[in-house]
Amino acid sequence: MFYAEALYDIGHRCVFAYHAHRELTEAVALIASHPHLGDPRLSENFSTSAEAIARHFDLNAIAKSYRPEDGHLGRSKHERAYRHWCLSNTLFLNPLNDVDKAPISAHDILNLPSFTTSLGEPPVVIGMFNELKQAFASARWLLWEGMQARGIHFSDHGVMLFNTLDYPSYGLAVEKLKMAFRLSYSLFDKIAYFLNYYLQLGQQEHKVYFRSIWREQNGKVLRERIAGSRNWPLRGLYWLSKDLFEEGMKDSIDPEARELANLRNHLEHRYLKIQEYSLSTCSQNSPFHDPVARTISRTDFERKALRLLQLARSALIYLSLAMHHEERGHDRGGLTMPMHLDVWRDNWKR
């Protein structure tokens, strides 16, 4: 329900309320059947929350109108497999994908909420968010292709490499995995650039990074805009940045995020070797052990690239909902005039 309250789409908010009520009701029934497996005192809290939802939403009407199986997964078998993979890994830029892995969630409907600008000011943030969405969608596809590849690509023919006898993994598919990782990671600094512009934080452009945008120019004091904010999606972005970048956060909500930062550092600036198989620690005594490389098995790298893409998705959703919260709090004194924008058609994309 906290998520529902942050949404700008009323239809999505109703679906979240419907799911929340159903799960709270199921929890009450489970507590009654198996009181020894949990805390029976929670039953009253759950029941109270479910009743509050039922008072504010017409759950029967939502149940009748909500058709999760309505949705297009594509014409080809390949496209349908791709979209099923996205659904199962919660990778669509669509809040519904967080509560349902059905076809209705299989499109990237998330955009920015309605917002107000000064007269004559172009909708700059729309273009910025378009770029973020397209980069995310492309990174998602590259990861899928890299993970699904089964044969050699012709671009790898004649590229002479030597066998270092430590089971390295080479080829276009592996490079697609790396590109997906890089592209996903690049989104965070771009999100910081968006925030710096939209919130008018005043950070110098060459110092705008996702790890530092939250603090004043001296890098030590947390911005009052963040510290005192009741904008929960914005605070979610802040905590995501701490997971990814801040030293001393190894015991944070997502400790694996620190490993993602380490991998990115080696991938971009040092030497990362992806191996076909996970070698045991005893292989360090092998004459073919590479002491300079940061090594990781292909399976582990795929898993971490997927996790990074999921974090990037979360960040984009936080960004959109944070903007919605900000716009609700703006004083729109004076006259306003609506400006409607058409969508960029699929057949215009090249």
- Which SS3 state, helix, strand or coil, does residue 112 take? coil
Query: Given pLDDT bands bounded at 50, 70 and 90, which one contains residue 137?
Result: very high
The model's pLDDT over 162-215, given as tens digits with 9 standing for 90+, comes to 988 888 999 999 999 999 999 999 999 999 999 999 999 988 888 899 988 998
The model's pLDDT over 48-86, given as tens digits with 9 standing for 90+, comes to 999 999 999 999 999 999 999 988 898 899 999 999 999
Least confident of 98-102, 233-237, 249-253, 341-345: 249-253
Cα-based distances in Å from 113 to 36, 262, 320, 322: 45, 35, 7, 10
What are the helix (H) ranges across the chain?
2-6, 10-33, 42-56, 59-65, 77-88, 124-148, 172-198, 224-227, 232-245, 256-269, 298-328
Give the distance from CA 322 to its chain's centroid: 14
> What's the CA gap between 135 and 344, in Å, rounded?
16
Give the count of alpha carbons within 13 A of 21, CB side only: 19
| pLDDT greater at residue 220 or residue 81 | 81
> What's the CA gap between 239 and 246, in Å, rounded?
10
Question: What residues does each domain of the chain span?
Answer: 2-65, 72-109, 120-332
* Residues 121/137, Cβ–Cβ less than 8 Å: no
